[in-house]
Amino acid sequence: MISSKNKNTVRIGLFGIGLDTYWDQFKGLEQRLRGYIDVVSSKLSGYDVEIINLGLIDNPQKAFEAGRVFKREGCGADIFVYNHLCVIIYCVAGC
């Protein structure tokens, strides 16, 4: 999702990680992880930010493509959502 906001708005790259080989082994895991990303996106949308939400990155090809998209879009921060028994949000300045 890319929305049009003014030039001074911070662009945030948002993504979650998983491993696609787990989806068949653990029913509902992929949907649960996507749900966590949606929750974070919805909370961030309450601020004056532009969210570049690439959803769930679950293989190396998607990871490389995500890097290219974030660089092209000029993100000011990346938010990485990781789930392993809990949700951890990690912000990195600069994309």
| pLDDT value at residue 89 | 40
Report the chain's terminal Cα–Cα distance, integer Å.
Answer: 17
Residue 58 is encoded by which pair of tokens? 């679950």
d(CA 24, CA 11): 34
Range with lowest mean pLDDT among 8-22, 36-50, 73-87 = 73-87
Quickly tell me which residue has 């949907």 as its tokens.
31
Amino acid present at 22: Y
Mean pLDDT of the chain: 76
pLDDT (average), residues 31-51:
88
19-28 pLDDT, tens digit each: 899 999 999 9
Across 3-7, 34-38, 72-76, the highest mean pLDDT is recorded for 34-38
pTM check: above 0.85: no
43-72 pLDDT, tens digit each: 888 888 888 899 998 888 888 888 888 888
What ranges do the domains of the chain cover? 10-89
For 35-82, the three-class secondary structure string (H helix, E strand, C coil) is HHHHHHHHHHCCCCEEEEEEEEECCHHHHHHHHHHHHHHCCCEEEEEE
